[in-house]
A and B are shown apart, each in its own frame.
Chain A
Amino acid sequence: MSTLWISLLIIAISGPVLWLLKPQRSHWFALLAALPPALVTGWQLLQLAPAAQGQQLFVSLPWAPSLGLEISLRLDSLAIFFGLIVTGIGTCIAFYTNYYFEDDPRQGFFYLLLFSFMASMLGLVWANDLLSLFVFWEGTSITSYLLIAFKTGDKSAVEGARRALIVTTAGGLAMLAGLLLLGQAAGTFRIDELLAQPHLTALPVFPVALTLLLLGAFTKSAQWPFHFWLPGAMAAPTPASAYLHSATMVKAGIYLLARMQPGMGDSPLWFWPVLMIGTITMVLGAVSALRYTDMKAILAYTTISALGTMTMLLAFPGEEAALAVTVTILAHALYKAPLFLMAGIVDHAMGTRDLRALAGLWRGLPWVAAVALLGALSMAGVPPTWGFLAKELLLEEFYHLATHNEQIVGGLGFAAAVVMAVFSAGAIFGLVWEAFLRRRADDREPAHLHHAPSFWFVAPALLLTLIGAFTALFIGQIQTIVTAPAAVIAGAPIDVTIKLWYGWTPVLITSLAILAVGLAIAGSRRFLRNTLNRAPARLNGVYVYDAIIDAIYGFAYRLTRIVQGGPMAPQISVTLLAGVLVLAYALLQVDVSKLGMLESNELPLAPEFLIFVVAIVAAVTTVRARSRLSAIISLGVVGVAVTLFYVFYSAPDLALTQLLIEVLTVILLILVFFRVKPDTRVFEPNRRRYLRFGVAIAMGLFGAGVVLVNHFFQVGPSINPYFLANALPIGQGGNVVNVILVDIRGYDTLGEITVLALAALGGFAVLRSPKLHALRRRINRLRRRPAGDFQPAPPPLSPPSIGGPGGHLEVGND
C-alpha cells in the first residue's frame, strides 16, 4: 500500500483511537495526539524536493470499475503545500486542544471530529479525481458543522453551524453539478488529465460549469456575498476556529481556484468574477473588522479579508501573482492560526475575549503577549516577517500592472490592496494595544486573571508565530516551499529569487506608509467603530440569509397546508389517483398489438377461488365494519389472503415479507387505536363515500390491468433469466431474491436502508416534538368529550409540525 493511503488512514484512525483512549490533561497525551499529523508532516517535507523537480506520486483505487469510478490521489507540489499546512497546523492544534479542554468529558469527541476533519481536508487537497474531491469537500463541511455546533446547548452556536452548513453544502452541490458537467464534457474525471486538455475553456458547457465551480469555491472560502457564515462559525471551540475557519477549511475554495487556474485562468469568464468578488471581499472584510470588540470576530473578518486577497490574486495568470498567492497563504496560516489560539488562551484565562473588558495582559500573560505581538507584526506586514513578504508581493503585482499598460486594473487593485492593508493593520494593532499594552480597560468592570495558562498551552502558538516571524529571513534557502506550488498554479517553472530587500522601491515606501496609517487607525479606533456600527443592519448578510430561509419555510408551510393540510382520506385519494394517472398514461403508450402473446391459458385452481372469495368478503367487511378494531382485523385478513396467493404462485420470500408486514401493521394500528374511545367509526355523507368508492375502484381496476397486461403480453425483454443464471455463480447463493437484494442490486438496498434509517430519525424527531405532544393532548381531550353521533374534526393544526404527522393523528373524521 502506498504511503499516501497509509497517511490518510493514520489520520482517519487516530480520531477514534484518541476518542477511545479518553484524553487526560497530561503532556504525554498532547504529544500522542500531535504525533500522527507530525508524522505525516515529516513525510510530506521529505517529498518536497522530489516534487519540486516534477516527480509526482499517483495512486488510485478502483471504486466501481464497471462505472469507471475510482478514488485517486496525486501528490504534486501544490498538494504538498496545502497538505503541509493541514498537517503542520494540525499538529499544533492537536497539541493545544489537550490543554484547551482541560477536564471536559467531551474532549475525546472533539478529537474524533478534529481528526475526521483533518483526514477529509488532506484527502481534498490530495485528490486527483473530481468526484473524490467532492466527497472529501463535503466531508469537511459536515465535520465543520459538527465542530461549530460542538456546544450543543448554545443556541447561537447551533444556528451558526446550520447557517455554515447550508451555505457551504449548497455551494458544494453547485460545485458537484459543475464538476459533473466538466467531467462529462471533457471525458475524464481525473484532474491532471482534465487540466491538460488544451481546449477546456472552449467547451460549450464551460461557462455554466465554471459558474457552478466558482459558486462552490466562493461559498466555501467565505467570499462576498456568502461571507456571513464565517463570523457565525466563531461559536466553535477556539481550536476548531483556528484550524478550520482560518488555516485550512476556508482555504479549500482557494485550493480549488488554484488547482483550476492553469486550465481555466486564461478565460475572461474566470478573470472578472474572481477579481471582482475577491476585491470586494478583501476590502469589506478588512473594514468590517474594525466594528467589533470580540477578538474572534475581529480575527474572523480579517480572515475573510485575507481570503479575498488570495481569490483576487488568483484571477491573474502568471508567476508573480501565483507566487503572491502561495506566500499569502503560508503567511496567513502562520500568523492567523496562532492569533486565534491566543484568543482562546485569553478567553480561557480571563473568562472573556471582549476587548472592552481587557487591559494590560502583558504583565500576567507575557508569553501570550509575545504571541499576539509577533502575530500582529506579521499580519500588519512589518519586516522581516512572512506577512511583510506577502504584502510586498501583493503590492508589487499591482504596481507592475499599473506601470505596464494595465493602468485601470492595476491602479484600482493597488488602491484596494492599500485600503485592505491599512485597515487590517489598524484592526490588529488596536487589538494588541487594547488587550495587552494599555493600562486600563474601557468602560466596564475589567476582567481579572483567574487561571494562568501553563507554558505548554501557549507553546504551539508561540512556535507558529516564531516560524511566521523569522523564517522569512532565510527565504533564499527555503523558497522552494512557495515557488514550487506557485509553479503549479502558474503552469510554468518559476525562476525568481525572492528577497526581503529590494532597495527603496515605491512599493516599500507604500508599505511603510501603510504601517503608519495603520497605527493612526488603531489610535482612532473608537471613532471608526462607532461610525461603522451606524451602518443599517439590513446590509448584513445574515439578515438577507435569514429572510431567504424564512421565505423558503413560509412557502413550504403554505404548500404543506394545501397538499397535506386536511384529513388522511383525501390525501391518500390524491396520491393514488396521481399514481394511477401516470402509470395509466404509460400503459396507454404501450402498443399492445405489437407485443408478443405469452402462452398461459391455465385456469385458476379451486383453492385459489376460495382465497379470492375470502379476500373479497374481508374487504367488504373492512369497509362496513362498525368499530375500528374490527376494521383493522378484517384488513389483516385481506392481507393474509394476498399472502396465500403468493404462496400458491411460489414466491415464498414475498409471502413471508407480506405476512410479517401484515402482522406488524395490525399491531401498530392496535397500539395506536386500541384505546381510542369511543371505538366506533363515523360514517360520512354519501357523496364523499361514493367519491372514495370511485377512487378505490379505479385503483383496483388499474392494478388488475397492469397484472393482466404483464401476464398475457411480453412487454419487454425479461431480466429474470439473467438473475436465475447468475445468482449462484456471481452471488454464491441459492435464493435468487436474497442474492438480488444483497449482492446484485446491493446499491439499491443500501439506498433503501439509508432511507429507512432517515425515516427512523425523522419519525423519532417528529414524534418526540413538543408541538406534537401539545397536539396529542388536544386530541385526547376531544376524544374524551362526550359526543353525539358526529364528532367534529379537531381544528386545523397550526403551526404545522414538520413532515405532517398531524394527518395521521386526526382521528375525528375517518
Chain B
Amino acid sequence: MTEIYLRLVDLILTPIIVVMAAVFFLRGHDNPGGGFIAGLTIAAAIALHILARGATDVRQRISRYLLPLVGVGLLTAVSAALLGLYNGGFFKGIWLKFYIGTVQIKVGTPQLFDFGVMLVVVGMTITYLLNLSEIDEDEKPADAAAEAKHR
C-alpha cells in the first residue's frame, strides 16, 4: 500500500484536509462543522496517511501519543465544563466577545469543550484504525518462520 501516486496524493491532500478540519472546527459554532466533524476530518487525513505510508510506519511515529491524546481531550472537556463554575454552575458557558477591526470574535468555554471532543474523537478513531490494521504486517516474520519449520 505504498504506491507512489498514493504517496503523492498524501503529500498534497493531507495538509489540506487538516486545514479543512481547522476551518470546520473554527466555524463550527455558527455554521456546519464543529469538534466532532473536525475530529473525524483529521482522522480521515491520518487514515489517508496510513494508506499511503503503511500502518507500521505511522504507528511507529504516532501510536504512543494516541491514548494520552484521548486523556488530554477528556481533561480539556471536563475543565471547560468546570470553568463554568465561575458562572454559576458546572457547564455554564462563559463567552468573551471582542472586535478585531469590524470582525466580531467570540471565544467561549463551549468551544474549549468542543476542542476536547475533537481530541477524543481523533485519538479513539486512530487507535482503532492502527490497531485493527496491523494484522499481517507485524506477524509476517513470525508466521514465515513457523511455516518454514513445518516444512
CB-defined contacts of A737 to chain B, threshold 8 Å: 32, 34
* Known contacts A671-B50, A675-B136, A732-B106, A746 near B131 by CB under 8 Å: no
Contact of A65 among B71, B88, B129, B147 (CB under 8 A): B88
A415 at the interface (CB under 8 A from B): no
CB-defined contacts of B32 to chain A, threshold 8 Å: 652-653, 656, 735, 737
CB-defined contacts of A742 to chain B, threshold 8 Å: 29, 34-35, 110-111, 113-114, 117
Q: In the complex the two chains form, is B85's CB within 8 Å of A757's CB?
A: no
Chain A residues 745-796 with CB under 8 Å of chain B are: 746-747, 749-750, 753-754, 756-757, 759-761, 763-764, 767-768, 773, 776-777, 780-781, 784
Q: In the complex the two chains form, is B40's CB within 8 Å of A661's CB?
A: yes
Q: In the complex the two chains form, is B110's CB within 8 Å of A780's CB?
A: no
Name A651's closest neighbour in chain B (CB-CB): B32
Cα(A661)–Cα(B125), bound, Å:
10
> Per-residue CB proximity of B18-51 to A under 8 Å, as 1/0?
0000001000111111111100110110011011
Q: In the complex the two chains form, is B29's CB within 8 Å of A660's CB?
A: no
B143 at the interface (CB under 8 A from A): yes
* Known contacts A664-B43, A667-B47, A733 near B30 by CB under 8 Å: yes
Cα(A66)–Cα(B89), bound, Å:
9
| Chain A proximity of B29: nearest CB distance (Å) | 4
Q: In the complex the two chains form, is A760's CB within 8 Å of B67's CB?
A: yes
B98 at the interface (CB under 8 A from A): no
Cα(A734)–Cα(B33), bound, Å:
11
Name B138's closest neighbour in chain A (CB-CB): A773
* Known contacts A741-B34, A753-B77, A664 near B120 by CB under 8 Å: no
Q: In the complex the two chains form, is A656's CB within 8 Å of B132's CB?
A: no
Q: In the complex the two chains form, is B129's CB within 8 Å of A668's CB?
A: yes
B3 at the interface (CB under 8 A from A): no
B contact patch SS = helix
A530 at the interface (CB under 8 A from B): no
Q: In the complex the two chains form, is B89's CB within 8 Å of A780's CB?
A: no
Most chain A CB within a 10 A radius of its CB, from B47, B78, B123 = B47
Q: In the complex the two chains form, is B34's CB within 8 Å of A764's CB?
A: no
A739 at the interface (CB under 8 A from B): yes
> Per-residue CB proximity of A636-678 to B under 8 Å, as 1/0?
0000000000000000110011001101100110111011000
A551 at the interface (CB under 8 A from B): no
Q: In the complex the two chains form, is A753's CB within 8 Å of B67's CB?
A: no
CB-defined contacts of A764 to chain B, threshold 8 Å: 66-67, 127, 131
Cα(A418)–Cα(B131), bound, Å:
62
Contact of A760 among B44, B70, B143 (CB under 8 A): B70
Contact of A777 among B31, B70, B85, B142 (CB under 8 A): B142
Contact of B93 among A656, A657, A672, A743 (CB under 8 A): A743
Q: In the complex the two chains form, is B116's CB within 8 Å of A733's CB?
A: no
* Known contacts A735-B28, A767-B132, A780 near B1 by CB under 8 Å: no
| Chain A proximity of B48: nearest CB distance (Å) | 8
Q: In the complex the two chains form, is A656's CB within 8 Å of B123's CB?
A: no
Contact of B29 among A663, A735, A768 (CB under 8 A): A735
Chain A residues 276-323 with CB under 8 Å of chain B are: none
Cα(A760)–Cα(B113), bound, Å:
19
Q: In the complex the two chains form, is B110's CB within 8 Å of A756's CB?
A: no
Contact of A743 among B31, B110, B127 (CB under 8 A): B110
B65 at the interface (CB under 8 A from A): no
| Chain A proximity of B128: nearest CB distance (Å) | 5
Using C-beta atoms within 8 Å of the partner chain, give the interface range for chain B. Answer: 35 or more
A731 at the interface (CB under 8 A from B): yes
CB-defined contacts of B85 to chain A, threshold 8 Å: 61-63
Name A667's closest neighbour in chain B (CB-CB): B47
Chain A residues 18-59 with CB under 8 Å of chain B are: none
A509 at the interface (CB under 8 A from B): no
Q: In the complex the two chains form, is A660's CB within 8 Å of B89's CB?
A: no
Q: In the complex the two chains form, is A732's CB within 8 Å of B29's CB?
A: yes
Contact of B123 among A652, A660, A760, A780 (CB under 8 A): A760
A3 at the interface (CB under 8 A from B): no
Q: In the complex the two chains form, is A780's CB within 8 Å of B139's CB?
A: yes
Number of interface residues of A (CB under 8 A): 55
CB-defined contacts of B77 to chain A, threshold 8 Å: 749-750, 753
Q: In the complex the two chains form, is A65's CB within 8 Å of B110's CB?
A: no
Chain B residues 134-151 with CB under 8 Å of chain A are: 135-136, 139, 142-143, 146-147
CB-defined contacts of B113 to chain A, threshold 8 Å: 742-743, 746, 749-750
Q: In the complex the two chains form, is A757's CB within 8 Å of B40's CB?
A: no
CB-defined contacts of B91 to chain A, threshold 8 Å: 64, 743, 746-747
CB-defined contacts of B128 to chain A, threshold 8 Å: 668, 760, 763, 767
| Chain A proximity of B20: nearest CB distance (Å) | 11
Q: In the complex the two chains form, is B37's CB within 8 Å of A672's CB?
A: no
A738 at the interface (CB under 8 A from B): yes
Q: In the complex the two chains form, is A760's CB within 8 Å of B33's CB?
A: no
| Chain B proximity of A353: nearest CB distance (Å) | 36
* Known contacts A739-B29, A741-B34, A756-B121, A671 near B88 by CB under 8 Å: no
Q: In the complex the two chains form, is A760's CB within 8 Å of B66's CB?
A: yes
CB-defined contacts of B139 to chain A, threshold 8 Å: 773, 776-777, 780
Q: In the complex the two chains form, is A738's CB within 8 Å of B29's CB?
A: yes
Q: In the complex the two chains form, is B74's CB within 8 Å of A660's CB?
A: no
Chain B residues 85-110 with CB under 8 Å of chain A are: 85, 88-91, 93, 95, 106, 108, 110
B124 at the interface (CB under 8 A from A): yes
Name A677's closest neighbour in chain B (CB-CB): B136
CB-defined contacts of A750 to chain B, threshold 8 Å: 77-78, 81, 113
Contact of A732 among B33, B34, B108 (CB under 8 A): B108
| Chain B proximity of A720: nearest CB distance (Å) | 17
Cα(A671)–Cα(B29), bound, Å:
34
CB-defined contacts of A671 to chain B, threshold 8 Å: 50-51, 55, 129, 132-133
Q: In the complex the two chains form, is B95's CB within 8 Å of A732's CB?
A: yes
| Chain B proximity of A16: nearest CB distance (Å) | 12
Cα(A63)–Cα(B90), bound, Å:
5
Q: In the complex the two chains form, is B131's CB within 8 Å of A767's CB?
A: yes
Q: In the complex the two chains form, is B88's CB within 8 Å of A657's CB?
A: no
Name B31's closest neighbour in chain A (CB-CB): A735
| Chain B proximity of A287: nearest CB distance (Å) | 46
Q: In the complex the two chains form, is B66's CB within 8 Å of A731's CB?
A: no
> Per-residue CB proximity of B56-87 to A under 8 Å, as 1/0?
00000000001100110110011001000100
CB-defined contacts of A657 to chain B, threshold 8 Å: 36-37, 40
Q: In the complex the two chains form, is B55's CB within 8 Å of A763's CB?
A: no
Contact of B88 among A62, A69, A753 (CB under 8 A): A62
Name B133's closest neighbour in chain A (CB-CB): A671
| Chain B proximity of A384: nearest CB distance (Å) | 50
Q: In the complex the two chains form, is A756's CB within 8 Å of B120's CB?
A: yes
Contact of B44 among A65, A660, A757, A773 (CB under 8 A): A660
Name A753's closest neighbour in chain B (CB-CB): B120
CB-defined contacts of A757 to chain B, threshold 8 Å: 70-71, 73-74, 120, 123-124
CB-defined contacts of B43 to chain A, threshold 8 Å: 660, 664
CB-defined contacts of B44 to chain A, threshold 8 Å: 660, 663-664, 667
Cα(A734)–Cα(B29), bound, Å:
6
Most chain B CB within a 10 A radius of its CB, from A64, A753, A777 = A753
**Contact surface of B with A, Cβ cutoff 8 Å:** 1, 24, 28-37, 40-41, 43-44, 47-48, 50-51, 55, 66-67, 70-71, 73-74, 77-78, 81, 85, 88-91, 93, 95, 106, 108, 110-111, 113-114, 116-117, 120-121, 123-125, 127-129, 131-133, 135-136, 139, 142-143, 146-147
Give 5 CB contacts A-B under 8 Å: A660-B40, A664-B129, A672-B133, A738-B34, A763-B124
**Contact surface of A with B, Cβ cutoff 8 Å:** 61-66, 69, 652-653, 656-657, 660-661, 663-664, 667-668, 670-672, 674-675, 730-735, 737-739, 741-743, 746-747, 749-750, 753-754, 756-757, 759-761, 763-764, 767-768, 773, 776-777, 780-781, 784
Known contacts A660-B41, A760-B124, then 15 further A-B pairs from the complex at CB < 8 Å, ordered by chain A residue: A653-B32, A653-B34, A657-B40, A660-B37, A667-B44, A671-B50, A732-B106, A734-B30, A742-B111, A747-B91, A753-B121, A760-B66, A764-B131, A777-B142, A777-B143
Q: Which A-B residue pairs are the 3 nearest by beta carbons?
A: A734-B30, A671-B133, A652-B32
